[in-house]
């Protein structure tokens, strides 16, 4: 593949300019089984060579380990990269295996300092609320996030898995650059409320898990059989048992489109997200996650693909047929509150 860089897009009105595809870094330390750290580091460097400038992490990924892992790469390329991290998934002191959602002011103040320390940076480019605790008014949460901007600790604000209504309320307090939500051929619930609100407000969409956590690439068919015991996907209802078997059959139209483009299934999934967002009139920066150089090259190449109307029509019914929800507990998502 050539080293020509991918196109750029503004990450929300007034937001930073970034490559049209970002890199999700979660799997480098967390959730998806063992990692080859040297290959992951090489993947970060290769991504940057190809014009990927937006890198996504969170304090919760490996309890801070992901931020620490990424820090040397970020520091070596500080002026070339736009770094996103997140707060809100807290570990209760007496239950280290549990996660609770914290949106309160003292927690956010503590979380931002901890992320800055682990990243060893003076400022975070894009700071997200990772998950929403509806018991805390969103105005209060975004109010303190806005203070962090004024104090120079954070440049831009983002929200993950918020509803359209929550996004509107937040935007009334401070401009929001980006909403990060799951969006893929298998997960389209955000098109009902979040996508129209983002378009109306000039907020960019950062689709996470655009490859359906790898399932849309055909790289695994059943999480319980194909993935290691600690892999998070074994807890996701659509990747196990009868659901998984039914969902594998839904890859067939993707395979047909892929064959007609001499492309991979994953490339079709990524091209679809890009094109679907364009149809909705939205700036979009999907953040597929990979730890492998060969896959970053494949994924980045999808930004240059164009799907025809016939292709889009063939792919259209897939999401409505998916068996099983995207999380075991959907209150964790915007769809659970819309």
Among 141, 171, 209, 334, interactor with ligand NAP by CB under 6 A: 209
Residues 167-186 that bind ligand NAP (CB under 6 A): 180
Segment near ligand NAP (CB under 6 A), from 93-101, 192-200, 204-212, 320-328? 204-212
Residue 10, by phi and psi: left (phi above 0), alpha (psi -120 to 50) or beta? beta
How far is 145 from 147, CA to CA, in rounded Å?
A: 5
How far is 259 from 169, CA to CA, in rounded Å?
A: 44
For β-strands 100-101 and 178-182, DSSP reports them as unpaired
Among 11, 18, 25, 170, interactor with ligand NAP by CB under 6 A: 25
Q: Which residue is nearest to ligand NAP (CB)?
A: 24
For β-strands 17-19 and 23-24, DSSP reports them as unpaired
- Comparison of 44 and 93: residue with beta carbon closer to ligand NAP: 44
81 touches ligand NAP by CB under 6 A: no
- Is 61 a residue of the active site? yes
Phi, psi of 5 (to 5 degrees): -80, 150
Residues 212-241 that bind ligand NAP (CB under 6 A): 212-214, 217, 219
For 289, the 3-state DSSP assignment is strand
Which class for 313: exposed (0-12), middle (13-18), buried (19 or more C-beta within 10 A)? exposed
CB of 309 to ligand NAP, least distance (A): 25
- Comparison of 247 and 290: residue with beta carbon closer to ligand NAP: 290
CB of 226 to ligand NAP, least distance (A): 11
How far is 87 from 167, CA to CA, in rounded Å?
A: 17
Segment near ligand NAP (CB under 6 A), from 143-151, 171-179, 202-210, 309-317? 202-210
Look up tokens 């991979």; give the residue.
Answer: 264
Size, binding site for ligand NAP by CB under 6 A? 29
* Catalytic residue (one of 32, 55, 61, 128): 61
288 touches ligand NAP by CB under 6 A: yes
């Amino acid at each position: 593949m050539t080293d020509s860089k991918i196109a750029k897009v503004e990450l929300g009105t007034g937001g930073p300019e970034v490559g049209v595809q970002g890199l999700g870094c979660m799997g480098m330390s967390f959730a998806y089984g063992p990692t080859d750290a040297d290959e992951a580091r090489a993947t970060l460097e290769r991504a940057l060579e190809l014009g990927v400038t937006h890198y996504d992490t969170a304090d919760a990924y490996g309890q801070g380990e992901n931020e620490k892992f990424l820090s040397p790469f970020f520091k070596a390329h500080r002026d070339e990269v736009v770094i996103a991290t997140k707060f809100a998934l807290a570990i209760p002191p007496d239950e280290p295996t549990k996660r609770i959602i914290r949106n309160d002011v003292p927690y956010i103040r503590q979380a931002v300092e901890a992320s800055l320390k682990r990243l060893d940076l003076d400022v975070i480019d894009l700071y997200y609320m990772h998950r929403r605790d509806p018991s805390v008014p969103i105005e209060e949460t975004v109010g303190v996030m806005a203070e962090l901007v004024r104090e120079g600790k954070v440049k831009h604000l983002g929200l993950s898995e918020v509803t359209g209504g929550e996004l509107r309320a937040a935007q009334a307090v401070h401009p929001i650059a980006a909403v990060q939500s799951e969006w893929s051929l298998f997960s389209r619930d955000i098109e009902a409320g979040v996508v129209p609100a983002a378009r109306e407000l000039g907020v960019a969409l950062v689709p996470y898990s655009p490859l359906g956590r790898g399932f849309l690439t055909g790289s695994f068919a059943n999480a319980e059989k194909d993935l290691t015991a600690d892999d998070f996907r074994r807890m996701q209802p659509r990747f196990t048992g009868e659901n998984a078997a039914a969902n594998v059959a839904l890859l067939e139209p993707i395979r047909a489109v892929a064959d007609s483009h001499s492309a991979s299934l994953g490339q079709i999934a990524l091209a679809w997200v890009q094109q679907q967002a364009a149809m909705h009139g939205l700036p979009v920066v999907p953040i597929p996650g990979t730890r492998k150089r060969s896959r970053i090259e494949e994924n980045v190449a999808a930004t240059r693909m164009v799907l025809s109307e016939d292709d889009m029509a063939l792919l259209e019914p897939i999401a409505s047929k998916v068996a099983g929800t995207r999380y075991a507990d959907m209150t964790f998502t915007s769809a659970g509150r819309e």
